Chains A and B, each alone.
Chain A
Amino acid sequence: MSETVTYREAVVRAMADALAEDDTVFLLGEDVAAAGGVFKLTEGLQERFGARRVLDTPISETAIVGAAVGAATQGLRPVAEIMFADFVAVCFDQVANQLAKYRYMTGGQVTMPVTIRLVNGAGTGFGAQHSQAVENWFLNVSGLKIVAPATPADAYGLLRAAIADPDPVLVFEHKGLFNVRGALDGPAAGELGKAHVVREGSDVTVVATQMMRHRAEQAAQQLAGDGVEVELIDLRSLAPMDVPTVIASVEKTNRLVVVQEAAPSGSWGASLIARVLLDGFELLDAAPALVGCDDVPIPYAGPLEDAHLPSAGRIVDEIRAAMER
């Protein structure tokens, strides 16, 4: 029997368990120690594990990620927090040029078991520089693994898996999901690179992550009432991307709708659709649909931000329209 926790509690628990089980694991980031994190995602950890294992840094993203890289060369397992995912732009070089490529460029002489946790996501009024779908920025950078958990079980499982993984993993924690409740254990929660079929159906395959996965789930329930059976897939991992699971589903439904919290260009949704077209063209009865955001920065005002993000209602409409294509 699994206990029920919030997404936030699951994140804290994952780090606590990792710190307890492996002395090479340590946490660093801005306000992660004394304050327990601005989003309380590291609450109580310094008290429990001490200042040697849980460290507050200055406001220095380049130094935070760089130090994680350096520590990893010496066999430690750093877990660095980027307070708002958008701030990774400040240290983009450390992530894209150093962390992602260090092992490859040295012919495998170093291993980078680095975990970077980034708080992403819109819908809570933090504005254009604190709400972006940053997970898309790194899709084309070889050498990184990227996960985006939607549920407490995945928040726990994927973070544990990321910390245990010998390669660099970016873990995106959506700020709109911190109070979502769910079982701590979940199916395939501890596997990087594996999507999860949330709900089976025969009419249309819908793929989503994080906040959009929850809204798509609502949409699917509504559509079931009208006799449209949605097969809902939570992609969970953006790199590597579990295209085979999506293809197997499209083989059954012959229709694909992708729902994401980003504009189409350079997004995981567009990449997934391209892959399905390349690998599964002859499975499709109609062109796939990509439900996302407008190509504008995220606005602050409530009505503007609400209109910007796909609502459950819009997702219902778009799935219906996709059935007519």
Chain B
Amino acid sequence: MARIAMPRLSDSMEEGTVVNWLVGDGEQVARGQEFVEIETDKAQMPFEAEEDGVLRQLVPAGTTLAVGAAMAVIGDDEELAGGTEATSEPVEAPAESLTEAEGLPAGGPTVLAERGRVAASPVARRLADELGVELANVAGSGPGGRVVKDDVLRAAESASDGAPASDAPAAADPPSPASAPAADGGAKGAPTRVALSRLQQTVARRMAESRATIPDFSVSVDVDMEAALALRAALAERDVKVTVNDLLIRASAVALTRHPRVNGSYRDGHVETYARVNIGVAVASQEALVVPTVFDADRRRLTEIAAEVRRLAGAVRDGSITPPELAGGTFTISNLGMYGVAEFAGIVNPPQAAILCAGAAEPRAVPLPDGRCATRRVMRLTLVSDHRILYGADAAAFLAELRALLETPVAALA
């Protein structure tokens, strides 16, 4: 009889939600068969059984469990009838170093995870009980995702706010919308509350952490994109589809090989640089921002990069992106050019050294040496860097390199 624990599906995963069971409680399941769908902080994915047997679901769909917590049991009828005593070893607690790698606080509630409890402080637990709050549904703001008192109080408050006020003063005349506040709204009108999904919560938390802990600075450069756009047009005539972004990825990869520090990470007082250049490409999905990784971008041809980016974007759209595809990045590129954005400064994706933010390639009047003006399509690139790793000169040098590669694209292709 096998105890099935919430699996660790990614480096940073600390808990997962059972979205739905694909095999019913008490039904047969075969080795290799997908029997449950799990939502992690990065993706939603099915999980396969590793043995044959009858499935005993230990938690209902919608339950959030810490990694390693008991989720199901697969055994034969006799064993299950005799109780759900786990005979296999519990899933090992996530390694601290990997947790740190994702920039999340190390040392989560691993002991609790093994016993299947939501990590919550004693007072949080008691209040949840008293206020009728389901701990499993509360996002924890404490260390390691622990649910603390304030989390429970907020959850209780938001639950009660949804109900219409019962003590609205009765007015003699119906109040005019402009003068009297509605009993259930106020000046802004009735609020619609949308809870953040697990993924959105993760993004929110990581962005806040990044902002709070990383001393960042921005350096911008304007790139003359005429040559790059001419290259793209030339390829398109041969039915080879590449985007400006693909070229940006390729050029950045080459530049990173020449400026390895920009490809690095800050860790506990030292800088790590890596042999591989894995560029994360920010993609807007339905509900959040995800950053699939183009691995070894420096070793792929432009067309391979283009194909890979298309594939990854498609996987994000249809929800089939996997955690490994969302991890391992050493550098991130975010491009808002398709929205006509001129420039923007994003937030460094920890623990990476920098993020490259690209605006649209817009026509601009550019002075020529002889005093006349020409119209060139110019794209502003902004590099937001972690000042613990990169100094102004480093960022500037990288951008200069990148600009040179983009303005003479054959150099990037070589």
Contact = CB atoms under 8 A, between A and B. Distances in A.
Task: Determine whether A and B are in direct contact in the complex, meaning some CB atoms lie less than 8 angstroms apart.
Answer: yes
A281 B122 contact: yes
Nearest to B124: A285
Contacts of B142: 285-286
B143 A254 contact: no
Interface string A282-304: 11111000000000000000000
Contacts of A286: 121, 142-143, 148
A254 B149 contact: yes
Given A324-B143, A325-B143, A285 B125 contact: no
A285 B143 contact: no
A287 to B, nearest CB: 9
B31 interface: no
Nearest to B147: A285
A284 B121 CA distance: 7
A283 B122 CA distance: 6
Contacts of A284: 121-123
A284 to B, nearest CB: 5
Nearest to A277: B122
A285 B123 CA distance: 6
B126 interface: yes
Contacts of A325: 143
Interface string A181-198: 000000000000000000
Choose among B121, B124, B125, B149 the residue with the greatest number of A CB atoms under 10 Å from its CB.
Answer: B121
Interface residue tally of chain B, by bracket?
A: 10 to 19
A283 B123 contact: yes
A320 to B, nearest CB: 14
A177 B125 CA distance: 43
Q: Is the interface of A mostly helix, strand, loop or mixed?
A: loop
A285 B126 contact: no
Interface string A213-232: 00000000000000000000
A90 B124 CA distance: 50
Interface string A255-288: 0000000000000000000000000011111100
Contact of A282 (B122, B143, B148): B122
Interface string B134-148: 000000001100001
Contacts of A283: 122-123
Given A324-B143, A325-B143, A282 B149 contact: no
B141 to A, nearest CB: 11
Contacts of A281: 122
Interface of B: 121-126, 142-143, 148-149
19 contacts: A254-B121, A254-B123, A281-B122, A282-B122, A282-B125, A283-B122, A283-B123, A284-B123, A285-B122, A285-B123, A285-B124, A285-B142, A285-B148, A285-B149, A286-B121, A286-B142, A286-B143, A286-B148, A325-B143
Shortest beta-carbon contacts, A-B, top 6: A282-B126, A285-B121, A282-B122, A281-B122, A284-B122, A285-B148
Given A284-B121, A286-B121, 19 more contacts: A254-B121, A254-B123, A254-B149, A281-B122, A282-B122, A282-B123, A282-B125, A283-B122, A283-B123, A284-B122, A284-B123, A285-B121, A285-B123, A285-B142, A285-B149, A286-B142, A286-B143, A286-B148, A325-B143
Interface of A: 254, 281-286, 324-325
